[in-house]
Structure 1
Amino acid sequence: MGIKSLLRRLKRHFVIRVKEVSLPYEIKLIKEDRFRGQVAIVTGGSGVIGRAICYRLAAEGALVYVCGTNHERVSSVVNEINEAGFQARPLVSNILEEDSVGSAFRQVMNLSSKIDLLVCCAGGGAREKSCGLIEQDMDVIDSVLNLNLRGGILCTKEACKYMVSRERGKIIIISSTVGLQGMPAYSEYAAAKAGLMAFVKSIAMELGGKGIRINCVTPGIVQRGTIDERQMEQIKKTNWVNDYGKPEDISNMVAFLNSDEAMFITGQNFVVDGGRSLGLKNN
């Protein structure tokens, strides 16, 4: 049975198993084809969370441009989505470079004539270079700020050029609970993610009258790869619902904010973290 036949049979629920992820993506449809005819760009679309977002939007009918810097990784996601019977196209771009972003968005306009949704999912911390502020190199600080904050601003600016002319469009920025609460040795990452939250509020006020809705989705810890049972139990102890965050938890919120049900919502930050950021937890 093909995936589309299965979709018609189950109507509201089906599971897509994605390579390189130990847990399957579980997509629960609210309404079949509710995003049909929409054109979406997802930056960071080849990452774990970005990939889940791409799948979710495509599964509900959108044509999704999977945007990233690595052609092989982008193509892998595009191929998986297309093989499942949905629509995706590759969009290789470096969000650190204004010319690259401009060229990529013009490519989408030339091929599809519009941009209905932008999801800014590209980002990341200093990883193994993370350390206290005093010891941190300014090159690392600049890199993290540019990737997360400047990249999100640049992509939003470019998308808005095309959305304003149609007086419609939705933008969703993926932030982090580190931007809400801060974290030692991640000060530049916290600053960038907190900056995105303030940016969202400003653009919501600036362009709300022009038909553009912009919101922020803030994940907590999201399980990204293969982990053992002990690690899973440790993750569960970090939040108040004693569970673990899944990529589809984030894609579910993105799908809601892109739906007609969210038309009167803008400038808001939606925290998806099992309550982790609510307060101190003893165990």
Structure 2
Amino acid sequence: MKCALITGGSRGIGRAICVKMAALGYHVLINYKSNLEEAQNTLEQVKQAGSTGEILQFDVSDKEQIKQVLSAWIDAHEDHEIEVLVNNAGIRADSLMAWMEEDQWDNVMKTNLDSFFYVTRLVLNGMLTRKYGRIVNVVSLSGIKGLAGQTNYSAAKAGVIGATKALAQEVGRQGITVNALAPGFIRTDMTEELDEKELRNLIPVRRFGKPEEVAHAAAFLASPDAAYITGQILSVNGGLYS
């Protein structure tokens, strides 16, 4: 059975990607941290899209949980191939650096950057064995441009961008592509507190994006047709920073 693992799949962009992967016929592994109700909602939408799925609870900022839960699942499902990995889980803890607490730095780095290493390393072994895989990392405009008040978030996402480019060079010969998506302002829980009416004037297309538009881009990068595209950062930002 061919599977797609999406971290942070219970809401927002992650949910939209789960549903899109289901429509493409993948058995969808929906990772979530704490909100079981939302994860179950995503699973129901996956089923409505015509596919199957299951829920995997682990905190991507906790390397021991990743090892215990994800390793156990991989070992117990030798007939399941994780063909697509989407590293989507992320958090923000915004503050000007002069007033940033150590926890704000540590938690953002663990959730956004460290998780890429620990999750990808586990999944990569199977891809290398099968000589095929698609890894898509959800980064951010903040990791490309840098945004005031997001030194921690910008640093973490920029780190994933660098890792994307490096890993793509390591595994290209094995039929594995590694790319990243850099969303701008997308209408999700993470942008609810932002003033869309004011900010959309900065965006050439004059609106926030939809999670489904990011999911469409993720599906393209995860497809067999994207085999000659690797190490790339695709911006999904309405022309905000091009």
TM over 0.5: yes
AA in 1 matched with 2:66: V
Q: Tell me the equivalent position of 2:66.
A: 101
Report the CA distance between 1:192 and its aligned residue.
0.3
Distance in 2 between residues matched to 1:103 and 1:115, nearest whole Å: 17
Q: Tell me the equivalent position of 2:24.
A: 60
From 250, 265, 269, give the equivalent of 2:233: 269
Q: Tell me the equivalent position of 2:7.
A: 43
- What are the ranges of 5 or more consecutive residues in structure 1 without an aligned counterpart? 1-36, 279-283
From 95, 115, 128, give the equivalent of 2:82: 115
The TM-score, its normalising length taken from structure 1, stands at: 0.78
Per the alignment, do residues 90 and 146 of structure 1 end up closer, same or farther by CA in structure 2, a change over 3 Å counting? same
Residues 195-274 of structure 1 aligned to structure 2 (within 5 Å): 195-224=159-188, 232-274=196-238
Distance in 1 between residues matched to 2:205 and 2:49, nearest whole Å: 33
The answer as to 2:146 corresponding to 1:179 is: no
**151-160 or 214-223: which moved more?**
151-160
The answer as to 2:56 corresponding to 1:91 is: yes
Report the CA distance between 1:109 and its aligned residue.
5.0
Distance in 1 between residues matched to 2:49 and 2:123, nearest whole Å: 28
Distance in 2 between residues matched to 1:78 and 1:253, nearest whole Å: 21
Residues 69-88 of structure 1 aligned to structure 2 (within 5 Å): 69-70=33-34, 71-88=36-53
Deviations 1:95-150 (A, max 9, x none): 12223212333314523432101000000210xxx221121111211111111011
Q: Tell me the equivalent position of 1:190.
A: 154
Deviations 1:49-86 (A, max 9, x none): 00000000101211100001123332221123224532
The SS at the match of 1:159 is helix
Contact 1:124 1:148 in 2 (8 A): yes
Deviations 1:153-191 (A, max 9, x none): 211111112211111111000000011111111101000
AA in 1 matched with 2:103: D
Distance in 1 between residues matched to 2:112 and 2:176, nearest whole Å: 21
Percent identical = 30
Distance in 2 between residues matched to 1:109 and 1:141, nearest whole Å: 33
Report the CA distance between 1:224 and its aligned residue.
1.7
The answer as to 2:89 corresponding to 1:125 is: no
AA in 2 matched with 1:218: A
How many residues get paired? Answer: 236
Contact 2:22 2:49 in 1 (8 A): no
Contact 1:121 1:173 in 2 (8 A): yes
Per the alignment, do residues 65 and 109 of structure 1 end up closer, same or farther by CA in structure 2, a change over 3 Å counting? farther
**234-243 or 52-61: which moved more?**
234-243
Distance in 2 between residues matched to 1:64 and 1:218, nearest whole Å: 22
Contact 1:74 1:91 in 2 (8 A): no
For the pair shown, which has the larger CA radius of gyration, 1 or 2?
1
Report the CA distance between 1:232 and its aligned residue.
4.7
- What are the ranges of 5 or more consecutive residues in structure 2 without an aligned counterpart? none
RMSD: 1.9
Contact 1:202 1:267 in 2 (8 A): yes
The answer as to 2:128 corresponding to 1:164 is: yes
AA in 1 matched with 2:100: Q
Deviations 1:206-239 (A, max 9, x none): 11112211100000000126x99xx554343121
Contact 2:8 2:88 in 1 (8 A): yes
